[in-house]
Amino acid sequence: MNITKICCIGAGYVGGPTMAIIAQKCPDIKVTVVDLNEERIAQWNNPDVTKIPIYEPGLSEVVSEARGRNLFFSTDVDGAIDEAQMIFISVNTPTKTYGSGKGMAADLKYIELCARQIARVAKDDKIVVEKSTLPVRTAEAIKSILDNTGNGVQFQILSNPEFLAEGTAVEDLLKPDRVLIGGDTTPAGEAAIDALVNIYSKWVDRNNILTTNVWSSELSKLTANAFLAQRVSSINAISELCEKTGADVNEVARAIGMDSRIGSKFLKSSVGFGGSCFQKDILNLVYIAKTFGLREVADYWEQVIIMNDHQKRRFANKIVSTLYNTVADKKICFLGWAFKKDTNDTRESAAIYVASDLVSEQANIAVYDPKVESEQVISDLEYIGVSEKGRDRVKSYGSAYEACDSAHAIAVLTEWDEFKEYDWTLIYKNMQKPAFVFDGRNLLDGKKLTEIGFIYKSIGS
């Protein structure tokens, strides 16, 4: 089947960049990204392409090239569904906050709403592609909804999970380690798989395009994120032991990372992993294991989350203990609020939880992040239940120099490259004395900022 029209439901961190790359690499395919959020679509259509809603290095250039040619952003969901031959579902699948599976299971209400809308609108056969991270056998539920419309339309369901790392999403899409496509083993299912393979093969080597059954594809995404998060929690557990024994966690990580069986990636000690996927996917994996009565499996993966939460609390406690066991009315500067550099995504950022712990100790938090707006900072704190009084203790600044002025301590929460270029001697001059620095991305110990070279070594390592 030759695909000439694609619709993607969901203009977020996955749908927007993925469709932009497909449009760039396949100029013969009309790609329409739809979302009910009018403000978000307006941002994607902003004439100033540098102000699109998602910051990723290189993304604005890709959007600029394809937008208006064969890449479109719209709120006309029904119209896009109607004309498309292939529909990607890329909506949010947050952890449930209610009912059965609360706190662990994925909330699939948006997925179901999409399926029902497709079923209602579709007048001819469609290929529906799961792009959101979903629990195993979700495709079965989607297919059940679509196959019971009674209008005779035939649907093929594919699983095509994303493996993007925010901050490098464009590079990950252009040069993926692999593209995974799961589908039915029926002739119709294999034809649908081939249609999607043909799209990706416009720029991805076919040897890097893997095809599986749907269930294997869905589980592979959860498992990949769980393994990566496990490595982060593992090195963080060792970091605490290093502090007690006098070992250097960076040296330990370097030593074990040179073992070809282990590798060096995801071995940076930090204040904990964040982002929209790791915690959500592990909790989903835990829930699935518990559903099947696999208690030991569930306990194993749940410990990864427990360790991550512990690391965030430990970092906040380290700040309090270093500042003479009180941070009441002291100014603590947070450099970075996004969960990692080169993205404006703050979901599950460690900075949010460290800030919450510190404002509960009546600290004043000064935030500087080059890509995160002050409104987002306050919204993040409100989302996790920080009171209005607590939120009033948090203020965003337009520069790091302003945020650090008269501060008692600096906590580096995001490893933005620009932090390495600052005049740290000048920053130290305008801080309270003694001034301390806490690098949440490599070391947890507080060091006096008189050791100016420390900041270069820690962020640059």
Task: List, by residue number, the catalytic residues.
Answer: 162, 221, 277
The contacts of residue 455 (CB under 8 Å, 6+ apart) are: 412, 419, 420, 422, 424, 437, 439, 449
Does residue 27 have a cis bond before it (omega within 30 degrees)? no
Instruction: Return phi, psi of residue 29, to 5°.
Output: -110, 130
Whole-number Å distance between alpha carbons of 438 and 415: 12
HSE-CB at 217 with a 13 A cutoff on CA atoms is 27
The contacts of residue 140 (CB under 8 Å, 6+ apart) are: 214
Whole-number Å distance between alpha carbons of 450 and 430: 12
Cα-Cα-Cα-Cα torsion 199, 201, 207, 210, nearest 10 degrees, comes to -10
Whole-number Å distance between alpha carbons of 15 and 108: 17
State which amino acid sits at residue 263. Answer: G
Whole-number Å distance between alpha carbons of 7 and 71: 10
State which amino acid sits at residue 71. Answer: L
Element (H, E) at 327: none
Q: Is 135 exposed, middle or buried (0-12, 13-18, 19+ CB in 10 A)?
A: buried
The contacts of residue 79 (CB under 8 Å, 6+ apart) are: none
List beta partners, residue 368: 335
Radius of gyration over alpha carbons of the chain, in Å? Answer: 23
Cβ(342)–Cβ(57) below 8 Å: yes
| Token couple for 298 | 């569930």
Helices and strands (DSSP H and E) totals, the chain = 18, 14
Cβ(348)–Cβ(275) below 8 Å: yes
Query: In angstroms, how far is the first alpha carbon of the chain from the final one?
Result: 49
